[in-house]
Structure 1
């Protein structure tokens, strides 16, 4: 349980926070550390980011946040998310996200910063942040869907399917759930068969030509989450969510 790192030419980083992979603040930092460690290993040529359980990631652990007094838990979660998303983006080798079930909130941050996404045929992607009293990861959602759809998803909290993203070209393959890891490892192995120095320079060069600074953009979004929390709107929305309203 927690974050697992399996080293090798194709390293594997696994999220495992039962029952729904709602990741606590420390878990986001552990994920960032695992990704940094994988990328720092000279043997690593690609990384598969996957998850155990019912879904890829349900975002932050709202129950942890509501149990804590003051703003420390919120700040820790937001810093943890920023660190984990940045670790995916900055990993010096390509990161392939293997997404199954639900990919929500912080899960979109991870998948949106990945170099490639392979998904199971039951996978859905969504940003329920407005219903949770927060904002963030629209930066990463905009890397997966067209701009107007991104806005619709933020305002309405509606999810989209892996098949829809496949039509946009932002999900490489949609496969049965039983074959998801195998499909992710297949494309990772294809990348790992290339010259490792050239692949690392390719990753660096592609990050360098990105039109949006994803780290700065996400931190800008997070500022509005802080504002909503200070206003009390964030806390009220989280309580409604936990009460099932």
Structure 2
């Protein structure tokens, strides 16, 4: 259990997240993920990183139980900072990052996938931000990188999810494959990227980030300020305490608390 790193082929690094039962990450897990991705990008032998997950879904956000056990705000602050670091690590990774998304990709998962360079998804994958149903805000910055502006707003306000097929139609998902072919399909894309010159691919990543129209770190940090306001005012606890029914993604609400 945790975050592991392997080198399946020359020039490729596989970073795998495994936090059963639904990959709702504790504070420590977000930092472990950030460290693993940054280290993979710094390794001069790597030309592409594949970000994958074991289990039922890619990511179900932060671990709400950890937050509920904390009588103060330490877990909230830790989760916010951890998410910020993990999302930034994916975006700033020195080489391209391919996200292999299977099952549910919610809350923090949107932050990771939205900051990846490419996404390969399984045909059962769903993407969404159930933040308003969980007493939280955030990651609209990253959802806006996956779908058009008005769809992002509708998904955010309703807490609905979009399918991998829908995102493929919008051009944000590279390829949709059966679940049992997901890892191979992600590795196939990574393999093609890894064939490029190592120095040139790093320059390409830096150049593309440099022309991005939105500063994802600053915009996400701005969103996080409203999450703190919701928590300090008590409205976040009020909303969090009311949910308990499983959502349509299949991730049990008791474990899922996207940030």
> What is the TM-score when the length of structure 2 is the normalising length?
0.93
What is the CA–CA distance in structure 2 between the aligned matches of 1:63 and 1:150, rounded to whole Å? 28
What is the CA–CA distance in structure 1 between the aligned matches of 2:232 and 2:213, rounded to whole Å? 32
Question: Displacement, 1:243?
Answer: 7.4
Corresponding residue for 1:102?
Answer: 104
What is the CA–CA distance in structure 2 between the aligned matches of 1:65 and 1:4, rounded to whole Å? 24
What is the CA–CA distance in structure 2 between the aligned matches of 1:22 and 1:238, rounded to whole Å? 15
Closer, same or farther: CA 166–110 of 1 in aligned 2, 3 Å: same
Deviations 1:136-181 (A, max 9, x none): 0000000000000000011000000000000011000000000000
SS at match of 1:215: helix
What is the CA–CA distance in structure 1 between the aligned matches of 2:48 and 2:241, rounded to whole Å? 40
Corresponding residue for 1:28?
Answer: 30
Corresponding residue for 2:149?
Answer: 147
Counting matched residue pairs gives 245
Corresponding residue for 2:132?
Answer: 130
Which has a greater percent of helix?
1
Corresponding residue for 2:67?
Answer: 65
Deviations 1:168-204 (A, max 9, x none): 1100000000000000000000000011111000000
- Asked if residue 77 in structure 1 is aligned to residue 82 in structure 2, the reply is no
Which of 219, 225, 228 matches 1:226?
228
What is the CA–CA distance in structure 2 between the aligned matches of 1:73 and 1:238, rounded to whole Å? 15
Question: Displacement, 1:235?
Answer: 1.1
What is the CA–CA distance in structure 1 between the aligned matches of 2:103 and 2:244, rounded to whole Å? 21
Where does structure 1 differ by over 6 angstroms across 4 or more consecutive aligned residues?
none
Corresponding residue for 2:5?
Answer: 5
Answer 1 or 2: higher relative contact order, Cα 8 Å, separation at least 6. Answer: 2
What is the CA–CA distance in structure 1 between the aligned matches of 2:187 and 2:28, rounded to whole Å? 27
RMSD: 1.1
Q: Which runs of 5+ in 1 are unaligned?
A: none
What is the CA–CA distance in structure 1 between the aligned matches of 2:183 and 2:228, rounded to whole Å? 37
What is the CA–CA distance in structure 1 between the aligned matches of 2:87 and 2:60, rounded to whole Å? 15
SS at match of 2:218: helix
